[in-house]
Amino acid sequence: MVEIVNIDIKNVLDQLFYVCDQADLNKKIPDIKTLVIREILSFIAYITISDSTERVKFFKSVYFIEEVGTVPIIKDGHIPEFFYLLSEGSRHSIEESYINAIISVGKYYLVNNNTKRNTDSEKFSLYLSTMKNALVNQKTQTRENETVLNQSEKPVNNEATPSENENNEETLEELLAQLDRLIGLDCVKFEIRTLTNILKVNKIRENRGLKVPVISKHLVFLGNPGTGKTTVARLVAKIYKQLGVLEKGQLVEVDRAGLVAGYVGQTALKTQEVIQEAMGGILFIDEAYALAKGDSDFGQEAIDTLLKAMEDHRNEFVLIVAGYNEPMNHFLVSNPGLKSRFNKSIIFDDYTPEQLFSILVLLCDSNDVKLEEDSMPLMKNYFKKICEEKKENFANGREVRNLFERAFSNQANRIANLDTITDNDLREIKFEDFGI
């Protein structure tokens, strides 16, 4: 077997060990690197369907020179040993770097035609979900601890100065962590991280006087409604700003109605105004395929204006077009200029029943309510049912949000006239509240 280094995997592993070094963990946990390597190899064995011996041996020979001893067999729900050994100050950055490494390694096996048939995608998803839940739990605990300390040590001041707010900008690492915390979207996360790495490396090449390949930063987002396209686009805008690709990093979201006017010549002006608003950031066009309705339609005028701006202002703004898979593919091939300017399409898969339930739980947690215990299996069955039926207007995460808002309203109607309203009444959402 020829030893070939995958640059994406090499980069995330280097980043992981760099973070470990920066945290000075070698003094606190002398065998931290060994523990991390052993966990990665155990993960590879865990997601491998057949005998994993050769796969593990090969991966170790390519990426590691350290002797790590016997690779432990892990089970569902496993959390790496070193997670428990990390101090609070270094925990989050190392855990996040480890998760990024796991994503790259897992995706490598899942997208490679020679290996994906021998890779358990469900185990990969379960492992990743376990890691992310552990990370979220740790962050929640840290925030709670910080809240207690702040309340006891500092006076309350709710008024921040304008300068303080302006400087409170997320770092690249924080933005990527936000991306990783999104429920599902594993392939999307991988693509955005890969794109981020390419842009980072290109920036380094540019600073060192090396030639930089010309890479289109415009993107196509393919997927059904409610799959997180707008949320990811907003994060991409901020990531691009942190990388120095964009000056401002704002997101301007429009659809056909925001670009097309009813008279000849007005569409170009209307589209130019929107483009000007997006300068320094991202112009996000949802259901972009609606622009290509026919030869005589004013939508073509908007497309022509967009194409010219993409050429004239290629380094000043980024265009992301989004919509359903099939109509978007037709839209792109309808104009040779469009196809040539979008060489990267990112697919947003529909959420699974488990992910929809996780979104509901997250909405409940963020609004200080909880699902009644007896209602949990009923809601899981409901999500399984709607995913199997998959009606034409199925809206994924948006469906869950609408469902939650309905339940919140119905809960208020249910308890409003009670003689005594307990804290549990206020916090508990029942199955009957969803009206399904």
Cα 92 from chain centre: 17
Q: What is the DSSP string of 278-338?
A: HTTSEEEEETGGGG-S-TTSTHHHHHHHHHHHHHHTTTT-EEEEEE-HHHHHHHHHT-HHH
Q: Reduce the DSSP state of residue 81 to 3 states and report it.
A: helix
The CA radius of gyration of the chain, in Å to the nearest whole number, is: 24
Residues 77-126: pLDDT tens digits?
A: 888 877 766 655 555 678 888 888 898 898 888 877 777 788 988 888 88
What residues in the chain have per-residue pLDDT under 50?
1-2, 140-166
Residues 224-253: pLDDT tens digits?
A: 999 999 999 999 999 999 999 999 999 999
Largest CA distance in the chain: 75
Q: Residue 58 region, left (φ>0) first, then alpha (ψ -120 to 50), else beta?
A: alpha
Q: Where are the beta strands (DSSP E) in 277-406?
A: 282-286, 318-323, 345-348, 370-371
Nearest to 91 by CA among 23, 37, 39, 12: 23
Can you tell me the distance from the alpha carbon of 126 to that of 76, in angstroms, rounded to the nearest whole number?
A: 7
Cα angle: 225, vertex 229, 230; to 5 degrees: 105
Residues 424-433: pLDDT tens digits?
A: 999 999 999 9
Give the domains, in start order, of the chain with CATH numbers: 7-149 (no CATH), 213-348 (3.40.50.300), 353-434 (1.10.8.60)
Residues 117-127: pLDDT tens digits?
A: 889 888 888 88
Average pLDDT over the chain, rounded to an integer: 83
Which residue do the tokens 């980072």 mark?
200
Which pLDDT belongs to residue 90?
54
